[in-house]
Chains A and B, each alone.
Chain A
């Protein structure tokens, strides 16, 4: 797409070019026009990004509006509390213990977050190392591929009773549960990302004078990084599913437990508060990964 279509014609950045004339005479005039001015091009893209964010916020606002309207029409806070009732409940219990349990909301949120981070980090590390080994060695790949293919479709929740038998009821089984969900996804996405790096890109680095080691670290792994980060985003979503489900069934702390307790006492506003806490934490972690992805892959910055 031509830059001219994105920018108003009177944009000063288009008329005053930066830099001295190249003077080589090698570059055809028309080609220099194509992207005119890099700064202006990036400004236009930033504006488009801000607009997209605004539209996204509007979508959320519409959802909240429909919820509020439905709650007002139903007028039954046990069946569907309004947005304002939920917000009030969230604020109230954020720093006050819920009666049946004795822990405030922030504590449960932090507990779930800690389990996620430990399990996710361990699972990602193991998955990436395993994926790298699978990509580097055909024997490792043929050995582990069927194992991963068998494990991958199994819902991690099916392992909960096993982990309780093997690992007890402490923090460990929850973290291992998350790890079990994350590792196969990370192994598969890492293999795919490394395989996708063209052989010619490595050859290119070698013909530029890079050693094998330098090419491996600075080209192949670097080129695979965006794919690995995308895999992390996918497995992060799965990790939240696992941990909340595990806490619903077999825990005495965490957001899943809080939601279950609130449901048992028909405190629907607190159920919604727990759900919203999960949404906020999930969004925040995903936002961190997205920032890393944007840093790793400049072509996504649009």
Chain B
């Protein structure tokens, strides 16, 4: 074991946050903490206004989403929780601009959603890294694509510095030249994170991003996400079917499903920030879990 690894371990293994419940559990979008290298814009407000979606296939109508409304505050982390088929992924794709809504509207930072945009980053269940690009080139995909749209094909040294900072930020400094298949599962997810952040989103949409990871790696990714969000406070909408994950990460949990697929109860998580994976053993956590389970049964 080397000094570098020890240092990293000591910091992450530090005891979790003090467990004083805070009503509401939300935070104002404060200035980013010191030591944040890449310039990531602050989070924006998301207004989901009675969104509905119907899929038609061969004359059959399937209501995927009906009357879903939710207001996500700027810099807030909201979990969308529900079983398969409750419309949570559909809603996320509507917010991303990948699917048009049949009814209602979504506005992000005051602007209505009409199609995909780099303002709204997305992380998927699999990391979706570009297999033919190194970690650095994956991270630089967004900035380069955006430059190409403005007819600046050439890289400048600023981009290189930013890539290096992001690589360091997600702990992949030694893996800039590695290809995705040379990274472990957790490393691939962190690279996908860095790539999403490099495009400078003010909203991050996460579609069960850690669902395919083993429990231990998933817990590490939770810590990683919490730490990152604590520092940058971008708005995050996190889709999951895991109750504990929804509570641990979210300021609020929007429970989805029921008779019509849509948003049901929205439950505040009374846990203090910054949070830590060990918070899952506290009484407040268990109380929240009982509430959400009851809500899911209705």
Chain A residues near B (Cβ < 8 Å): 15, 17-35, 37-38, 41-42, 198, 200-201, 203-211, 214, 218-219, 222-223, 225, 296-299
Can you offer 19 A-B residue contacts whose CB atoms are under 8 A?
Answer: A21-B7, A22-B4, A24-B170, A25-B11, A28-B8, A28-B220, A32-B4, A32-B8, A42-B182, A203-B98, A207-B122, A207-B196, A207-B205, A209-B118, A210-B146, A211-B148, A222-B132, A296-B132, A299-B180
Check if B96 is an interface residue, CB within 8 A of chain A.
yes
Q: Which positions 194-220 of chain B face chain A at CB distance < 8 Å? A: 195-196, 198-199, 201, 205, 217, 220
The interface residues of chain B lying within 8 Å CB-to-CB of A21 are: 3-4, 7-8
Complex Cα spacing A82 to B7, Å? 68
Check if B100 is an interface residue, CB within 8 A of chain A.
no
- Whether B3 pairs with A207 at a CB distance below 8 angstroms is no
The interface residues of chain B lying within 8 Å CB-to-CB of A28 are: 8-9, 12, 220, 223
Which of chain B's residues has its CB closest to A211's CB?
B149
- Interface residues as binary, B108-120 with A (CB distance below 8 Å gives 1, 0 otherwise): 0000000111101
- Whether A214 pairs with B148 at a CB distance below 8 angstroms is yes
- Whether B170 pairs with A27 at a CB distance below 8 angstroms is yes
Q: Which positions 208-240 of chain B face chain A at CB distance < 8 Å? A: 217, 220, 223-224, 227-228
> Given A31-B186, A32-B5, do A207 and B181 touch, yes or no (CB 8 Å)?
no
Q: A64 CB to closest chain B CB, in angstroms?
A: 36
Interface size of B in residues (CB-CB distance below 8 Å): 66
- Whether B96 pairs with A207 at a CB distance below 8 angstroms is yes
Complex Cα spacing A27 to B227, Å? 11
Check if B28 is an interface residue, CB within 8 A of chain A.
no
Which of chain A's residues has its CB closest to B35's CB?
A24
- Whether A208 pairs with B199 at a CB distance below 8 angstroms is yes
- Whether B131 pairs with A26 at a CB distance below 8 angstroms is no
- Whether B122 pairs with A22 at a CB distance below 8 angstroms is no
- Whether A203 pairs with B8 at a CB distance below 8 angstroms is no
Known interface pairs A25-B8, A26-B171, A34-B187; 5 further A-B residue pairs with C-beta atoms within 8 A, sorted by A's residue number: A21-B3, A35-B184, A201-B128, A204-B122, A219-B130
Q: B297 CB to closest chain A CB, in angstroms?
A: 32
The interface residues of chain B lying within 8 Å CB-to-CB of A26 are: 8, 12, 169-171, 223-224, 227-228
Complex Cα spacing A140 to B79, Å? 43
- Interface residues as binary, B76-99 with A (CB distance below 8 Å gives 1, 0 otherwise): 000000000000000001001110
- Whether B9 pairs with A214 at a CB distance below 8 angstroms is no
What are the nearest 4 A-B pairs in CB distance? A27-B171, A25-B11, A209-B118, A29-B9
> Given A27-B171, A31-B186, A214-B148, do A17 and B4 touch, yes or no (CB 8 Å)?
yes
Complex Cα spacing A77 to B126, Å? 62
Interface majority SS on A: helix, strand, loop or mixed? helix
The interface residues of chain A lying within 8 Å CB-to-CB of B180 are: 299
Check if B1 is an interface residue, CB within 8 A of chain A.
yes
Complex Cα spacing A76 to B36, Å? 81
Complex Cα spacing A184 to B168, Å? 48
Which of chain B's residues has its CB closest to A201's CB?
B128
Instruction: Tell me which of A210, A211, A297 has the highest count of chain B C-beta atoms within 10 A of its own C-beta.
Output: A210
Complex Cα spacing A30 to B12, Å? 11
Which of chain B's residues has its CB closest to A299's CB?
B181
The interface residues of chain B lying within 8 Å CB-to-CB of A42 are: 182
Q: A299 CB to closest chain B CB, in angstroms?
A: 4
- Whether B96 pairs with A203 at a CB distance below 8 angstroms is yes
Complex Cα spacing A38 to B175, Å? 7
Complex Cα spacing A261 to B289, Å? 84
- Whether B182 pairs with A41 at a CB distance below 8 angstroms is yes
- Whether B173 pairs with A20 at a CB distance below 8 angstroms is yes
Q: A252 CB to closest chain B CB, in angstroms?
A: 46
- Whether A299 pairs with B174 at a CB distance below 8 angstroms is no
Complex Cα spacing A154 to B116, Å? 45
- Whether B145 pairs with A214 at a CB distance below 8 angstroms is yes
The interface residues of chain B lying within 8 Å CB-to-CB of A22 are: 4, 8, 168, 171, 173
Q: Which positions 1-22 of chain B face chain A at CB distance < 8 Å? A: 1-9, 11-12
Q: Which of B9, B173, B195 contacts A19 (CB 8 A)?
A: B173
- Whether A24 pairs with B168 at a CB distance below 8 angstroms is yes
Complex Cα spacing A37 to B178, Å? 10
The interface residues of chain B lying within 8 Å CB-to-CB of A201 are: 128, 130
Instruction: Tell me which of A33, A38, A201 has the highest count of chain B C-beta atoms within 10 A of its own C-beta.
Output: A38
- Whether B142 pairs with A208 at a CB distance below 8 angstroms is yes
Check if B257 is an interface residue, CB within 8 A of chain A.
no
Complex Cα spacing A223 to B180, Å? 14
The interface residues of chain A lying within 8 Å CB-to-CB of B130 are: 201, 219, 222-223
The interface residues of chain A lying within 8 Å CB-to-CB of B190 are: 27
- Whether A208 pairs with B121 at a CB distance below 8 angstroms is yes
Q: Which of B11, B148, B178 contacts A38 (CB 8 A)?
A: B178
- Whether A35 pairs with B145 at a CB distance below 8 angstroms is no
Instruction: Tell me which of A15, A24, A25, A37 has the highest count of chain B C-beta atoms within 10 A of its own C-beta.
Output: A24
Q: B205 CB to closest chain A CB, in angstroms?
A: 8
Q: Which of A31, A225, A297 contacts B220 (CB 8 A)?
A: A31
- Whether B220 pairs with A205 at a CB distance below 8 angstroms is no
Complex Cα spacing A159 to B198, Å? 56
Q: A103 CB to closest chain B CB, in angstroms?
A: 44
Check if B265 is an interface residue, CB within 8 A of chain A.
no
- Whether B7 pairs with A208 at a CB distance below 8 angstroms is no
Which of chain A's residues has its CB closest to B6's CB?
A29
Q: B209 CB to closest chain A CB, in angstroms?
A: 12
